[in-house]
Structure 1
């Protein structure tokens, strides 16, 4: 528990997930509030695999993760390209969407936002605006310590879920 930042009470574990405190009742492993099954699985893997490694402050991309490089093209297509398509030229909307979901602005790239997904896991979404000569670009970055907590598979799923929550937030936000 200590290595993950979770707290253990009598028959219950509490861990932060984005803006919420999850309560996991043991031994039945019941989540409150309820989460989609894949998010429950990722949370349990986080708790089980937690290395206690402190954040390094160094950001790495998915392709830098152990075992991540072969899957980067799929990660780019599923996570990075939708981020770029929705938010390129609309960095302010990225910040608004992230803040509405518990993220905060990050001083990285032209526009960046960061989510504290679990107590020891941060995920950043970064845009670089292009010009006539250079196309816009985006990336999803992780604190280097993430390798001590989650697999590339888990991080791909988390990245995808966060991007789509931000896209949904923008589509459902009141227009000014």
Structure 2
């Protein structure tokens, strides 16, 4: 309950920040559009368009009206509320430990991200590419299998799997572009990893018809 309350308070803060901002300032530094008639933003999140209505304080997926869970909501809101000029450059992949303040989140990251990916793909890394096409994943250059996805147009993520066998334990991670620190709070970057790991797990469960513990 305390976690849910913290999430609600975080959402409320981000909604307030968005309402205080000039929409043109947000669209100038984020790859989003704004409809001045409906007073709504359109945000691309993992290859899906979401309508962000700050008057009603609600987010809906454009194609079917689905309201995303609180974790996705917080990530999308932080992306808009934190809007400031972005200094883009070539992708510089880093681990969570290399993000500002990332070390303090590593234990939780291992439990909620790395462990989930290992359970889902650690012994069949080929599954990763098979399921990630739903999120418009592209092959990556790391590990036994890796895939690059776009959380937002400015935010690439790379999921990496090292497959295990009888002698070697499997491993996994999510790599971030170092520039994510210009766009999301570090804690929200962790939430983004948690969200992606869970989405990939759900896809793997659905495709392969069994529950992955």
TM-score relative to the length of structure 2: 0.74
User: Among 38, 58, 63, which residue is 1:30 paired with?
Assistant: 58
CA-to-partner distance for each residue in 1:58-104, whole Å, 9 max, x for gaps? 10111111111011122112110121122113111111111123322
Q: Where does residue 19 of structure 1 map in the other structure?
A: 47
CA distance in 1 between counterparts of 2:208 and 2:201 reads: 13
> Alignment partner of 2:29: what SS?
coil
Q: Deviations over 1:99-141 (max 9, x none)?
A: 1233222122221012201121112110123567653321111
How far apart, CA to CA, are the structure 2 residues paired with 1:65 and 1:164?
A: 21
Alignment of 1:118 with 2:146, yes or no, is no
> Given the alignment, which residue of 74, 79, 95 partners 1:46?
79
Q: Distance in 2 between matches of 1:133 and 1:97?
A: 27
Q: Distance in 1 between matches of 2:205 and 2:166?
A: 28
Between the aligned partners of 2:73 and 2:171, the Cα distance in structure 1 is 32
Structure 1 stretches of at least 4 aligned residues deviating more than 4 Å after TM superposition: 130-134
Q: Which one of 83, 98, 102 corresponds to residue 64 of structure 1?
A: 98
- 2:199 matched to 1:165? yes
- Give, in angstroms, the shift of residue 165 of structure 1: 1.5
Matches of 2:73 and 2:178, distance apart in 1 = 23
Structure number with higher helix proportion:
2
Other structure's SS at 1:173 match:
helix
Assess, with a 3 A threshold, how the Cα gap between structure 1 residues 78 and 38 changes in structure 2: closer, same or farther. closer
Q: CA deviation at 1:174?
A: 5.0
Report which stretch shifted further, 165-174 or 140-149. Answer: 165-174
- More deviation, 91-100/23-32: 23-32
- Match in the other structure for 1:147: 181
Distance (whole Å) between structure 2 residues aligned to residue 94 and residue 167 of structure 1: 9
Q: How many residues align?
A: 175
Higher share in strand = 1
Structure 2 CA distance for aligned equivalents of residues 123 and 75 of structure 1? 15
Mean alpha-carbon deviation: is it higher for 58-67 or for 159-168? Answer: 159-168
Distance 2:29 2:119 in 1: 37
Rounded to whole Å, the distance in 1 between the matches of 2:139 and 2:112 is 23
Structure with more contact order per residue of length (Cα contacts < 8 Å, sep ≥ 6): 1
Q: Do the aligned partners of 1:62 and 1:141 also contact (CA within 8 Å) in 2?
A: yes
Larger Rg: 2
